[in-house]
A and B are shown apart, each in its own frame.
Chain A
Amino acid sequence: MKDFKGRTLSWQIVSGTIELALHREACNEIGSLTLAELEKFAAALPELATEARALILYSTQKAGFSAGADLRELFQRGQKLEKSVALRGVRDFLERIHAVMNAIDAAPLTTIAAVHGVTFGGGFELALVCDIIVADRTARFCFPELRLGLIPGFGGIPRLKRDLGNAVVRDLLLTGRSFNVMKAQQIGLVSQIAAEGEALRIARATASQVGKFDRTTAVAAKEFVKPIPYEELKREIDIFCDLYSRPAVEEGLRKFVENEGPQPYLP
C-alpha cells in the first residue's frame, strides 16, 4: 500500500521519502484505532522501504505531535471488563504497539520525527523510535506516567536509556516533569531545532540529504549505532502489566478522566 488515508493517520511517498502524518483530534491520542492504522503502516513498511530512503513522522494537529496513549480508552476498558480480561487486553495492546515501534525502529531507512507542541508519553515514545528528532521551538516533552501509578509502556524507558545518560533518564522519569526544546537539545535528545512551524520543512531537507548516500552503508551505519534493546522492551511490558493491576492505577486514571480542571496535563 503506497499511500493510505485513515481516520487517525495517513501516509504517502513524496520525493523518495515516506511521510506519515498523524491527524487524530485533539492531539493524536494513541488508542485502538490509531494502533490498528499504525499496524497497517508497519505491514506496508517493507514494500514502502523499497521505494524510499527516509521516513518522516509528523502531526497536523495544532496542539502538538501527540499527547500519548488514549487514557480515556484505557480507563473505560478497565471499567467494562473483568480485571483479568482487561489486563490481557492491555498486554495485547502493548505487545502490538511494541511490534509497530520495533518495526519503525529497525526500518532500513533513516527515520525522522518532526515534532512540535505536546510530545508526551506515548507520543514521546513514538518520536524516540526515530533516528533523528527535529523539534520546533514549541515542542515540549514529558513522561507523565508515574502520576498515574504507571511507567511508560510503549518502549520509552529502554529507548530513552539507549539515547541519554541514566541520571537524566531518572530525573525525567521520576519527576514526570515536562521540558522544552532547549533542554531537549542540551541533553542530547533533539538534534536539530527549528523555528515555530518549520520542523517538517527541516525534516524534509534532512531526508533529502540522507537520500544522497549509499543505502547499504546507511543501513549498516544505523544498525551499528542504534541497537534495539529487545530484552528491556519485553521487561517493560511485564512491569507495566504488574503495575496496571493495582487499584491505585484505576484511581489515577479515573482522576485524570474525570478531571475537568485546566491542568490535567500538569504533573
Chain B
Amino acid sequence: MKEKIRVASGQGFWGDLQTAPLDQVSKGPIDYIMMDFLAEVTMSIMQKQKKRNPELGYARDLVHLVEQILPICLEKNIKIITNGGGVNPEGCRNEIFKWAHKKGIKGLKIGTVLGDDILSRIEDFTRRGIRLNNMETGQPIEQVGHKILSANVYFGARPIVDALRQGAQIVITGRTTDTALTYAPMIHEFGWSWNDWDKLAVGVVAGHILECGGQATGGNFSADWKSVPDLAHIGFPIAEAYPTGEIILTKHENTGGMVTVQTISEQLLYEIGDPGNYITPECIADFTTIKLEQVGKERVRLSGVKGAPATDMYKVSMSYSDGYTAVSTLTYAWPDALEKAKKADEILRSRLSDLGLQFDEIRTEFLGLDSCHGPIAEMPDVVNEVVLRIGVRSHDHSAVERFGKEIAPLILTGPPGVTGFAGGRPKPSEVIAYWPALIPKDAVRPQVVVQEA
C-alpha cells in the first residue's frame, strides 16, 4: 500500500482554465488527476451532439487535454479520472485510442462507466411503478415526459474503483458525482471498506474541495482577494490522502494562489444545502464535523469528519426543453445615463406590446448600478455610464426572435449617447430546465468495461 496518494484537481467545469491539467502533472508529484466536465445542463447539450453524430456526445476538450498530459501521465504513472464521457464514454475512449495509436502508445488501458443514461428507459420505469417525479416540487413526470432531453443517474465511486481495480489508467464516466472523481482513488489505494462511513465522508469532503479547481486556492476569494499571490498562475488544489483518512489540502509549490483555512472554508460553503446531510451514493457526510487546521505553508489538514450510511436511492439529473430566451444590451453614457436607459426600456416595452408579442417574462437590469445587489445597492452620485440589459422568455420562438430585431432600432430612434451593439442581433437560446428525481439503487446498475489499446 502506498504511504500516501496525491489526487489533483485538473478541471472544475467544462470551460475551466485549459493550462491547469498540464501544470498539475508537471509542476510536482501527483498520483491521480480528476477532471469534472458536467454541469446540470451539460448532458442535454451532449445528447443533441450525439443525435447529430453518434460518435459524439462527450466533452471534446477532454480529448485535447488528455493528448497534452498523457505522455507525462504514462511516464509518471498518473491516472486520469473524469466524467467528460458525457453520454458517450465509449466514443470518447475510442477517440483517445485513435490518438494513442497515432503516437505509437501501446498497452493503454481505458475504463468506461456506462449505465447512467436512462433516457430511453423512463417509460419502462414509469410502467413498473418507478416514478421519476420532481423531487423538489413533487410534480409528476408526465408533465414533462415528452420534452425530456436527458436523464442520467448519479453513480458514485464504486464503478470508478471497479475500473481502477481492473487496471484502468484512464477512467471515463458518464454522470457521476463530482466528489467521487476524487475519493474513488483513495478507496482503491487504501482498501477502505464501503461501511467505513467516516473515511468515505472525509473523502467526500476532499472531493467537494477539489471539484471547483482554483476556487479553493484563492480564486473568487472573498476574505482578502488582494492578498492572493500570482492569480495568473494559480495552482489548483491537491488532496494528499493517507490510509488513516487524514487528508492534507495543498497545491504545488511553484504556483500562484494560496491554501489557507479561509480559502478552504469558502469552498466548503459553495453550493451546499443542509451541511449536516451532504448526501452521496456512498455515504452521508456531516460538514458540521469538519476540522480544518493550517499545518504548514499552503497546507491545511482536514480531519474529524463523520459519516453516516448512504440512502437506498440514487439521484437522477434530468433536463427538459422549456421555451426560449434572448438577451441584449445597450450602453448609455452621461449625462442622464440612467434616465436615458430607463426611457429606452420603456420605449422598447411599448413597441413589443404594440406588436402583440407575448412573453412569460421580460426582465430589465441596469449593469454597473444594481443588477447584482438590487435594492441593497447604493446609488452613486454620478452615473458615468450604464448598461441596459433586457431579456425575454417565451415558449413562442418567433416572439423571442422578433424581440431581437427591436434592439438596434433604439440606437437611432431612442435616447442619445448610446453604443455597445457590436454583438449583433440576439438569437433565441433554448431554455433547458432542470428536473431532479430519485431512483431506487436496485433499478439501475453501472457497467464497467476496461479495454486495452
Whether A associates with B in a native complex is: no
